[in-house]
Every structure is written in C-alpha cells, then in structure tokens.
C-alpha cells in the first residue's frame, strides 16, 4: 500500500466517523511515529508531513555528517543521528563534515507487514475515539428523554438504535410491566445511565424511573418547562400509580390545574405513554400535616401526629376511609410515605365504646411476628382493621396462605366474642 492509498483510505474512514481534521492528523502522526520507533529505535530526528487533502505523506530523517575514526572510542556514534562523511558523499559528493543530511524515508522501507499493522492501528484508534466521544456525549444526556427504534427483542432486554445508529439498551427491569414491543416501533425512554463494558459504552434507558415521568411533564406542560411550576418530587409504582408534588412560583397559576390541563388533556397524554398509570398531582406545601393529608388523597384524614425523631407519622381516619388511604395492594399509603419522606401508620378513629379495638401487638403470643409484619405492610395494625378487610382481600394483598388467614380470623373473633 503506497502513501496515497493509506492516507486517503484513513482520511475517508475518519470522515465517516465525524472525526475532525486536527484530531485525525494527531492520530496519524502518533501511529507513524510508533512505526519509526519500532524500526529506528527513536523518532527524535524525524519529521512527518501529512496532507490529507492530497493524500501526501512524507517522512524525513535528519542526521549530522561526521568524520569518524572507528578505531577511536572518544566519539559516541549513533547511526540514527550521525552519518559518516564517506557514506554521506555517496549520496551527495559536495557534503562536508558538520552539515546536516536530510533524506526521505519511504513507506515501503518499513515493510508491508508494518504498514498493514499501522493501517489497522489507525482504524482501531478512530473506533476507540468514537467510543469515547459516544460515552461522553450520552454521559452529558443522562436524565433526558430519547426516542429509539426497536431492532431486536430479547428475553432480558430490548435493543434500540438512535438517529445515528448507536445502540441503546432497555433492560427488563427498566420496562413497565404492561409494555409490549414490536420490531421497528419507536419507543420513548429516559437515558438512565451510561456504563463502560470492555471499553465500549452501554447506554441504558429506563421507562420506570421517576425522572422519566418528570421529563414527560416538562414536555407536556409548558409552565413546567418554563420554570413557572416546579416538580418537587415524583414517586412511582411503574404502570400502576404515581404521585407528583408540584409547586407554583406564580400566584396566578394553579399548579395542579396546569399539570392536569383542560378536561385532563395534558395528564391523559402522559398517562397513555405510561400504559394508563394512575397519576395523582398534589400541591406541595411546607406544612407537613397538610402535605400528608394531600398525599393520602383520596382518603380524608381526621388528624395526624408527627414523630420527627422516628421519621414516622400517625394518621387517624374514619373507618370507611382506611381502605382508601391504604389503596390497592397498599400502593396509596406506600407512595404517600415515599412522597412525604415519613413512614405513615394508619389508625381508625373510635367513635364510641363499641368501636374499641385491640392492637395486633396484644396477640404476639398467638400470632407469629412475620405474620403481623404482613398485615402492617398494608397498613393494618389492629384486630378490627384486619377483620374489616376480609379474607379474599388479605389473600390477594399479602403473602399469607388461606389456612393462616383462617387461623388469624378465628383468634381475632374470639377476642371480641369474649
């Protein structure tokens, strides 16, 4: 391969990869200097001239002409830096001692094998640079929404490509459970993280991240995009339910109304994107009691008590509001707790003596601790609260078996019969 073909082929390859000219020149010079060091030991007295437009490559070697008596050891002769006067005069008869001899080193002088290695090295360096650029490009885009086209569906992940043909990965763990994908479809997701896998960037997307929901609000609600409304916090059970706390910086703007839109137009677009995820938009407040009340919506609480030291809140509700506060599978109370940053305990407010209840802790000698933990997970901590839910609901919402639930019901009923 001659100079012209080598430089032109590499320049064309670099251009396809969108490598700028200064970077391309630097890569080429580094590779050629490596070749020189391998052949001559060092590259200190070599100049490399590259013209990518014309495909020119010139390598010049400079040596000092010396009058050398090889019998003497007083002179430190280096054949890479020096040339004996007799040898120099074979090239040009007029040369004198002390002059500098410049001679061009041809590419073929390095041998075909070294030239082919250099070509492969050039290509590999460009690929490495491309990977590095891709990594930093997407690292700066983490948290932003991107659209990708599906090209392969695997059991543990879906592979997509962006507009430039770069591979994107949507793992099973970052997919909404209700999502169904087809090859060729366009999918929107947030850039979750960028990993380095054996030097290659792995761009991981997510549709379950709270950030994805936040970015969708920015796209669909102009007031959020413009900064007039701030999203304070987002918590999700992806594909099922979410709570979004919002705050307005303009007293004339109702943050909840703006996010929902006329007849729910804005929120419905987001809900459809998230496979009909039920989204509660809540007006943020610094008043923690009011914030808890709003977070537990649609349930209406009677009163609340905050224990800041234990990061817990006790809320008291009418009996018919307890199931609303807890929600399907405990979703509502779980998300409300995450939203306000406190563990919320739900209690029924007793209206008269007949409503007297008994804490589950009173049954610790008869009911195992892990069983009571199952009840507490869904906000049940008294005997009557368990009985009020019903066996079928308990079977669905807990990990308990039928026999265990029957046993618990017998114990709790005996307490009130006695």
CATH of region 3-136: 3.30.1480
Q: Domain locations in the chain?
A: 3-136, 143-208, 209-284
Q: Are the beta carbons of 336 and 373 closer than 8 angstroms?
A: no
Kindly report whether the global pTM for this prediction surpasses the value 0.75: no
> In angstroms, rounded to a whole number, what is the distance separating the alpha carbons of residues 128 and 55?
23
Reported confidence tier of residue 355, pLDDT bands at 50, 70, 90: low
CATH number of 209-284: 3.30.300.20
Cα 240 to Cα 406: distance, rounded to the nearest angstrom: 30
Which of 195-204, 217-226, 312-321, 353-362 is predicted most confidently?
A: 217-226
User: What is 143-208's CATH superfamily?
Assistant: Nucleic acid-binding proteins (2.40.50.140)
What is the Cβ-side half-sphere exposure of residue 123, based on CA atoms within 13 angstroms?
Answer: 11
C-alpha span between 216 and 236 (Å, rounded): 14
Residues 174 and 189 sit within 8 Å (Cβ to Cβ): yes
List, for residues 234-281, the tens digit of each pLDDT value.
Answer: 999 999 999 999 999 998 999 999 999 999 999 999 999 999 999 999
User: In a 10 Å sphere around its CB, with 0-12 CB exposed, 13-18 middle and 19+ buried, how is residue 137 labelled?
Assistant: middle
**pLDDT over 60 at 70, yes or no:** no
Grade residue 390 by pLDDT with cuts at 50, 70 and 90. Answer: confident
Q: Provide CB contacts within 8 A for 56, sequence distance 6+.
A: 3, 4, 7, 49, 50
User: Would you state the pLDDT for residue 44?
Assistant: 86
Rounded distance between C-alpha atoms, residue 50 and residue 56, angstroms: 6
Helix (H, G, I), strand (E, B) or coil at 28: helix
Least confident segment among 36-50, 106-120, 283-297, 333-347: 106-120
Select, from the ranges 20-29, 101-110, 179-188, the one with the highest average predicted confidence (pLDDT): 179-188
Q: How far apart are CA 82 and CA 59, in angstroms?
A: 17
55 vs 373, residue with greater confidence: 373
The rounded distance, in Å, linking the Cα atoms of 194 and 200 is 10
Q: Which residues of 246-263 are buried (b: 16+ CB within 10 A; e: fewer)?
A: bebeeeeeebbebbbeee
């Amino acid at each position: 391969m001659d100079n012209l073909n080598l430089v032109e082929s590499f320049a064309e390859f670099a251009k396809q990869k969108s490598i700028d000219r200064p970077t391309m020149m630097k890569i080429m010079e580094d590779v050629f200097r490596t070749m020189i060091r391998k052949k001559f030991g060092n590259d200190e007295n070599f100049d490399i001239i590259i013209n990518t437009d014309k495909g020119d490559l010139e390598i010049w070697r400079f040596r000092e002409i010396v009058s050398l008596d090889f019998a003497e050891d007083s002179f430190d002769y280096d054949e890479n830096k020096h040339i004996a006067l007799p040898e120099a005069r074979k090239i040009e008869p007029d040369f004198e001692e002390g002059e500098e001899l410049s001679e061009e080193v041809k590419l073929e002088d390095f041998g075909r094998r070294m030239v082919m290695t250099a070509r492969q090295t050039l290509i590999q360096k460009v690929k490495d640079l491309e990977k590095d650029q891709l990594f930093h490009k997407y690292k700066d885009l983490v948290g932003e929404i991107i659209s990708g086209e599906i090209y392969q569906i695997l059991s543990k992940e879906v592979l997509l490509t962006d507009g430039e043909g770069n591979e994107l990965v949507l793992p099973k763990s970052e997919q909404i459970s209700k999502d169904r994908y087809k090859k060729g479809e366009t999918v929107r997701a947030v850039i979750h993280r960028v990993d380095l896998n054996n030097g290659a960037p792995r761009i991981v997307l997510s549709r379950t991240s709270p950030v994805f929901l936040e970015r969708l609000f920015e796209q669909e609600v102009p007031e959020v995009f413009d900064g007039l409304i701030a999203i304070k916090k987002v918590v999700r059970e992806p594909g099922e339910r979410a709570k979004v706390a919002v705050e307005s910086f303009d007293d004339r703007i109702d943050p909840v109304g703006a996010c929902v839109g006329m007849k729910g137009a804005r929120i419905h677009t987001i809900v459809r994107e998230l496979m009909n995820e039920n989204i509660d938009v809540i007006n943020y407040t610094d008043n923690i009691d009011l914030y808890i009340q709003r977070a537990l919506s649609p349930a209406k609480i009677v009163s609340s008590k905050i224990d800041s030291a234990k990061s817990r809140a006790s809320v008291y509700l009418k009996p018919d509001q307890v199931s609303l506060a807890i929600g399907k599978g405990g979703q509502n109370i779980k998300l409300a707790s995450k939203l306000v940053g406190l563990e919320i305990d739900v209690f029924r407010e007793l209206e008269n003596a007949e409503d007297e209840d008994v804490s589950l802790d009173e049954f610790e000698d008869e009911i195992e601790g892990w069983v009571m933990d199952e009840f507490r997970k869904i906000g049940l901590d008294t005997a009557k609260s368990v009985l009020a839910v019903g066996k079928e609901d308990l079977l669905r919402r807990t990990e308990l078996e039928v026999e265990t639930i029957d046993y618990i019901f017998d114990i709790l009923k005996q307490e009130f019969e006695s």
